[in-house]
Amino acid sequence: MKKLLFISIVALIMFSCERKEPQEWGELLIITEYDGTAEENVEVTLYNSYDNFMNYVFIERQLSDEYGEVYFPELLTGWYYFEAEKKKSSLFTVYAMDSILVIGRQQANKILIMEPFD
């Protein structure tokens, strides 16, 4: 009887232990374009939730390179929101915002088409 009770308790402890899933990291590549061409020196701001986007609490900010590319490595799996902005002249600014799902061990790619913004 004691042996059966001991085995039951050990089995209960083993099954009640919570296993943590390993965190999976993904990557995000954003390409900024305006008027059909890649746009360099665009300020791209990345947010890890919609609430943070609405409250301007960003996790990273980068400028696009000469190919219009911005690369964010090592992002946890989940939805990310981002916005891109560049002042083209004293007359207008181009802007775009979007969201994307980043999945672990994969690279998400997004072409962001920017438009004039007041």
**Average model confidence (pLDDT) across the chain:** 91
Mean pLDDT of 88-117: 95
What pTM was computed for the model? Answer: 0.80
Distance CA 14, CA 84 (A): 49
Structural domains of the chain sorted by starting position, each given as residue range(s) with its CATH number in brackets: 23-117 (2.60.40.10)
Span 3-23, mean pLDDT? 67
pLDDT tens readout for residues 46-94:
999 999 999 999 999 999 999 999 999 999 999 999 999 999 988 899 9
- 28 C-beta neighbours (distance < 10 Å), count: 21
pLDDT exceeds 90 at position 27: yes
Contacts of 58 (CB under 8 A, 6+ apart): 45, 46, 47, 52
Measured distance CA(78)–CA(9) in Å, rounded: 38
